[in-house]
Amino acid sequence: MSHTDFLRRAIEVSKSAREHGNTPFGAILVGPDGEILLEQENIEITDQICTGHAETTLVARASHLYDKAFLWQCTLYTSAEPCAMCSGSIYWGNVGRVVYAMTEVRLNQLTGAHEQNPTFALPCRTVFAAGQKDIEVLGPFPEVEAEAAAVHLGYWDSPAVASAK
């Protein structure tokens, strides 16, 4: 499978998150042999977990299942560029590569000033560059960015989201 194939799977997971009443983000962990090891959607709204972002939750799960040497060989694919919190989780979890579909800048255009998603203007590359690990980052992927963004359309201005504040 290609990077775009895996990103499309992460986007499907983000659709599932939205269908389950959560914010529309999804992440998958792919092993060095190209096998999907874990999938994770956002869980913060329905479970009232402020750190329930897809990437952070996925890395927490992965750290219980795999050692750091193995995780360094893995790739985390995500529907949107990891935020500062998720980037920190990826760093501490020792995942060696991140591939994302759409940028935080594009996400901010979609969410606006929505208090549920106060997006940072802090690229994951900047977070990783401040550390001591050479985490590879690939993204955005213009060929799937519109697909990733489409999952968010109508979400941030919906009555259900407003009542979850």
Query: Which residue numbers are catalytic?
Result: 55
According to DSSP, the residues that pair with 138 across neighbouring strands are 99
Full 3-state SS string of 38-87 = EEEECCHHHHCCCCCCHHHHHHHHHHHHCCHHHHHCCEEEEEECCCHHHH
Nearest-5° angle of CA 51, CA 9, CA 111? 50
Residue 48: left if φ>0, alpha if ψ -120 to 50, beta else—which one?
Answer: left
* Angstrom distance (rounded) from CA 95 to CA 135: 7
CA distance 92 to 75: 14
